[in-house]
A = this chain, B = another copy of it.
Amino acid sequence: MKTRERILHKSLELFNELGEPNVTTLLISDELEISPGNLYYHFKSKIDILTELFDWYENEMSALLEVPDEPMDIEDQWFFLHLVFESIARYQFLYKDVVNVLARHDKLRLRFQRIITKKQKATLQVLNNLHQQGRLQANPSEITALSENIVLTATFWISYANVAKSQVDEMTLVQGVYQVISQVVPFLEGEQREMLEQLKNAYFR
């Protein structure tokens, strides 16, 4: 792997572990056992590293959010959500310090907001699909509120786990998926409700 690539991967790793504000360019080069000068040969600033990692994330998430306009049952949703949570986890540094990171980099702010908007649209699409099939019983304002709650939970679940439970592992992601789906379930018909219980038992421990 070329040095440039190694810098990006190590930065992502350290950002996720320690939080972007707490990772210095010196630490990155130290960990890679290269000189700071070398790092600055490949990237003219720390923001450049951050921005390139954001590109990665943006591509990954954008692709994921191209939700097929077909009905999803609970199992499909579970799977889809798990992919979203995994993607968020891979770039959790963006989420754990969102407010701070975006406050310092206005361009990223707009791009992040665009992704949030995409998430809301994808969520609404899934919910409306279920509604039109008559499988989800809710009025429009309930659907709006529900989708906002879902996006919020997806956005901050990892931060919440980090603060409330002091750790983030694979189980944390599964639990996040469960928390999101449990918000949808009360609007579903009986059979689908039981499906969640089954999925929960299948995935938890």
Binding site for B on A (CB under 8 A): 18-19, 21-22, 96-100, 102-104, 109, 112-113, 116, 138, 141-142, 145-146, 148-149, 151-153, 155-157, 159-160, 162-164, 166, 178-179, 182-183, 185-187, 197, 200
Q: Give A164 to B197 CA distance when docked, in angstroms.
A: 32
| Shortest Cβ gap from A108 to chain B (Å) | 11
Q: Give A142 to B113 CA distance when docked, in angstroms.
A: 31
B149-A99 in contact (CB<8A)? no
A96-B102 in contact (CB<8A)? no
* CB neighbours of A153 from chain B (8 A): 149, 152-153
* CB neighbours of A182 from chain B (8 A): 142, 145-146, 149
Copies of chain A in the complex: 2
| 17 interchain pairs, CB-CB under 8 A | A19-B103, A21-B21, A22-B103, A22-B104, A96-B99, A97-B97, A98-B159, A99-B159, A116-B164, A141-B197, A145-B182, A149-B149, A152-B156, A152-B179, A156-B156, A156-B160, A186-B187
A163 and chain B: residue at smallest CB distance: B98
